[in-house]
C-alpha cells in the first residue's frame, strides 16, 4: 500500500511516503497551496495527517491531499494506545504532535524527558513502562525574542550569542540571547532534575526547529529524528515500523 504521512505543524508542513526516508518540508508562505499541489506525489492509496495548524491550512492540506489520495485519515490524541498511556484527563487537550512523539518514544521503553523547541517549548516526561507523567509549555526563545521586539524597536528579534560560562552579556543582542535561551535552558534543566528525582536514569531527548541552538548548552541531550512526528503517525496508523530495539537518537 502506497501511504503518505503528513505533519502540519504551526509554521510548516512536513511529509514523506511511509516506505521512504526522504523528508519534504514547506512553509506556510504565500502560494502555499499551489506549491503544495505541485510538490506532493500525484497519486497515493491512503494519506495520514497530524495537524496542529490553523483551520485555513488544514483545509488546504485536506483539499490538495484528497485530489490524489483515495482516503485521508487524521490522527487524534488518544488516552491510551499500545504501551502509551497519557497523563491528561482530557486527551483532546494534548496536542496531537506531542501525542505522536510520545507514542514513538514509548516503543523505546526508556525513562525520557522529551523537549520540543518550535513555536512553543514543550516538555513531556515519559516513563519506560509507557506512562506519560505530564508536561510543561512555555514560549520558545524565538517567540520570546519576537514578542520583545514587537514591544520595542530597540530590542532586535534575532542575533547574539552566549554560553553558560559567560551568561552576562555586554551588548543588547547577546543579552537577549542569554536571557531568552537561558530561560529555556533553565526550564529544561529544572524539568530534568524533577524527572530524575522519580527516575534517576531519565534521558533528555530534544527535537524541533530550535533544538540545534540549545543543544550545545545541553551536553546530556540527544537529538530525535526530524521526522519523529511522522514516525509516531505511522505507529498510530498501524503501518509497519522500523525495529526500535536498542535505538538511540543521534546527536
Catalytic positions, written as ranges:
97
Q: For residue 44, what are the contacts with CB-CB under 8 A and spacing of at least 6?
A: 2, 3, 4, 17, 68, 69, 70
Residue 126: name the closest of 85, 162, 185 by CA: 85
Residue 94: name the closest of 114, 110, 69 by CA: 114
Amino acid at each position: 500500500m502506497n501511504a503518505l504521512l503528513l505533519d502540519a505543524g504551526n509554521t510548516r508542513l512536513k511529509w514523506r511516503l511511509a516506505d521512504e526516508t526522504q523528508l519534504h518540508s514547506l512553509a506556510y508562505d504565500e502560494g502555499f497551496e499551489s506549491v503544495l499541489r505541485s510538490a506532493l506525489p500525484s497519486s497515493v492509496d491512503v494519506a495520514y495527517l497530524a495537524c496542529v495548524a490553523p483551520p485555513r491550512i488544514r483545509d488546504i492540506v485536506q483539499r490538495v491531499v484528497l485530489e490524489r489520495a483515495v482516503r485521508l485519515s487524521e490522527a487524534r490524541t488518544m488516552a491510551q494506545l499500545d504501551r502509551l498511556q497519557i497523563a491528561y484527563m482530557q486527551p483532546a487537550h494534548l496536542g496531537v504532535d506531542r501525542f505522536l512523539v510520545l507514542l514513538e518514544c514509548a516503543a523505546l521503553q526508556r525513562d525520557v524527558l522529551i523537549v520540543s523547541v518550535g513555536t512553543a517549548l514543550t516538555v513531556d516526561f515519559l516513563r519506560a513502562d509507557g506512562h506519560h507523567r505530564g508536561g510543561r509549555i512555555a514560549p520558545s526563545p524565538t517567540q520570546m525574542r519576537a514578542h520583545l521586539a514587537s514591544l520595542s524597536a530597540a530590542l532586535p528579534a534575532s542575533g547574539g550569542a552566549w554560553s553558560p560560562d559567560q551568561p552576562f552579556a555586554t551588548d543588547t543582542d547577546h543579552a537577549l540571547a542569554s536571557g531568552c535561551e537561558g530561560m529555556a535552558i533553565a526550564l529544561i534543566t529544572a524539568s530534568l532534575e524533577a524527572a530524575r528525582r522519580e527516575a534517576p536514569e531519565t534521558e533528555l531527548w530534544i527535537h524541533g526547529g530550535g533544538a540545534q541552538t540549545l543543544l550545545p548548552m545541553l551536553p546530556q541531550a540527544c537529538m530525535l529524528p526530524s521526522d519523529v512526528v511522522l514516525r509516531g503517525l505511522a505507529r498510530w496508523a498501524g503501518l509497519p515500523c522500523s525495529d526500535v530495539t536498542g535505538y538511540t537518537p543521534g546527536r
